[in-house]
Structure 1
């Protein structure tokens, strides 16, 4: 165990809103062992920014980790050449060029169709009505699993991210995760002969043209689903909520004074959809006065780093005029999110401008505030809205 001071947390309160606790930790114990999570947390941006690049110490390879055990050994849990080889294999499917020339038009088609089907018939939960199906339909296209229902894509993604964040060992959560991975395996099995016969630019289509073992193909498709559904879904719903509660900033975005990409980047800093990434200590190491032992588990708290007072003025405020370039919402090292370009296109290039262009006078319901939760993965649970016909 590390020599870091112990810092107790209230787990339910941390799930409801981790930011007050993380602010205290940055001030009192920026590197601290949290008994309730069984891990040492790094909370300062500078520590995380440096440590994430030191893969010989802060290793992503976690043989006994939840992701490996529940989803298979994917590239996120590999380092060095093993990681880079698989990253290069998927790159043709999600490169900036492919996103611009191939996926963005499909994303726009999904957005148009879903918005066409919406009607402000009383109160609408915008998470369920748009953010969820849009993110899932885009992910179906990208993964090549077009044989899935968008509802299954969302449920199976949620089942996996709940499973890999199940640090308290809840058996029911683990069972849902196993059901999710079994469903994805069945969908992959159905699509393999189709995409072998007619390859395309989807992740599955591209990977089937490589010599990657099938177990690794499956693991990396599951990885794409686990992060590729919840992050855009939560970022879309969350940014809509943030703008509706900050009408002056909404006006800056809709007028073109602030680019939609800048709006998205600020939201991802303010409420990091992926708030944490785990690491395993690969060899004895010391940061200032804290010594770590081999095989300890460490959490890099991206959500905390993105509100670090040393780098962001008024860090708890949502401000689309802010320079958010020091945000590490997508990571900072060799494990920088491979789907970042697709996510930016989905949210900033397509979803946000379409939503505020199409839905006249989109507004919150005064007596029905949205619910938000999570710390490893954080997002709105619902978003009650209405708009004018």
Structure 2
């Protein structure tokens, strides 16, 4: 007989932001689904349960009018299922084809990275969040979307405001205000370049949207560009920092990957399992259902905590450790099923084959600073927000 989801009330929202993993373990060990009052959400944290949910979009729907993503960004294809989702994915697909990434985007990303690291080399120390990862992710995404040149900080601020809004389960009014302000700025930036992309087809995302068959409606275009800015900037930014941190904290693994460059993709996959940049996304239950013994009523919103599932000790041995040599197991950092992240191959190319390898190659004896430890925050989106390092200039 299925029972109602247990309730946890003695966890604060600050606990989730600062270090969610003890909370995730407690939830995993309590039940397949647990209502966490601080998040105002029923959380699902076990790997196998999330995989089961992703195989059943009819019961666990992405189409959720109450979703914060819909509130902040509008009707994105990320919050649709079936044909509506497939149509949105198809409209951007030309920009994300493996051949386009390799032949068009990779040279551009390499040029950006060379410029950023070149500007750092003489300094001898920096915080890699603001000196490399954030500008790299912002400038690369600006190119991919097809925006006019702007300060990298502008796109980064828009992205942070959007993801803060999409994760604003504490209902902070100031966070909502900043997210709406970012959305208005993005709408204006889209309007400034649409005529150019209509007249000049190219590999950019906006060009793909306006030349899709049929062309994507402007309201959907605005919403989908916002969701791409939200996830498409913070995910590679945080993955750059997480992979760098994992290697700097594990010197033997660092030496292995530097001696054998073919291991970079393996190191990348382990980094985003260890600290998943996109840690949670919601689903809406469309009918009363029994989830592994927990009764979920129709209409309830659940949070799929892939950041927790990727540290599920039922699947991964010593899951809290960064270990690129652990037995190969698939993870959920890019989601699963029809909603598997469209930017997966861009992230793998940018982070695992361009930025972090170049960072270790160009900055000799790269190391963490003893006097300024890394700072990691977040649970809906998680990653280092400060990574101070030194090297031999």
The TM-score, its normalising length taken from structure 2, stands at: 0.96
The question of 1:369 aligning with 2:376 is answered no
Please state if 1:385 is matched with 2:386.
no
Whole-angstrom CA distance in 2 between matches of 1:248 and 1:270: 17
Gaps of 5+ in 2: none
Measured after TM superposition, the shift of residue 95 of structure 1 is 1.6
1:135-178 deviations in Å (ceiling 9; x for gaps): 11110111111333211111000000000100111010001101
1:1-389 pair list within 5 angstroms:
3-8=4-9, 9-121=11-123, 123-210=125-212, 211-256=215-260, 259-389=263-393
Report the alpha carbon displacement of residue 324 of structure 1 after superposing the two structures with TM. Answer: 4.4
> 1:317 Cα deviation (Å)?
0.8
Taking only aligned residues, the RMSD between alpha carbons, in angstroms, comes to: 1.3
Worse overlay, 123-132 or 23-32: 23-32
Matches of 2:148 and 2:234, distance apart in 1: 18
Shift of residue 120 of structure 1? Answer: 4.6
Structure 1 residue 34, shift from structure 2 partner? 1.1
Name the SS for the 2:35 alignment partner.
Answer: strand
> Is the 8 Å Cα contact of residues 269 and 324 (structure 1) preserved in structure 2?
no
Q: C-alpha distance in 1, partners of 2:129/2:179? A: 22
**Is the CA contact 2:67–2:282 (under 8 Å) kept in the aligned structure 1?**
no
- Higher mean alpha-carbon deviation, 229-238 vs 143-152, is at 143-152
Separation (CA, whole Å) in 2 of partners of 1:69 and 1:368? 38
Q: Deviating runs (4+, > 6 A) in structure 1?
A: none
Show CA shifts across 1:302-322 (max 9, x none). Answer: 011101111111111100112
Distance 1:77 1:288 in 2: 25
Secondary structure (helix, strand or coil) at the match of 2:4 reads coil
SS at match of 2:338: coil
Structure 1, unaligned runs of 5 or more: none
**How far is the alpha carbon of 1:10 from its aligned partner?**
2.3
Instruction: Encode CA deviations 1:32-83: one digit per residue, 9 max, x unaligned.
Output: 1112222111111000011012111110001122111211101000000000
- Give the count of matched residue pairs: 388
Q: Which moved more, 1:59-68 or 1:169-178?
A: 59-68
Q: Distance in 2 between matches of 1:257 and 1:107?
A: 19
Query: C-alpha separation between the residues in 2 aligned to 1:353 and 1:107?
Result: 13
Residue 325 of structure 1 deviates from its aligned partner by 3.2
Q: SS of the residue aligned with 2:8?
A: coil
Residue 258 of structure 1: how far off its partner (Å) = 5.6
SS at match of 1:280: strand
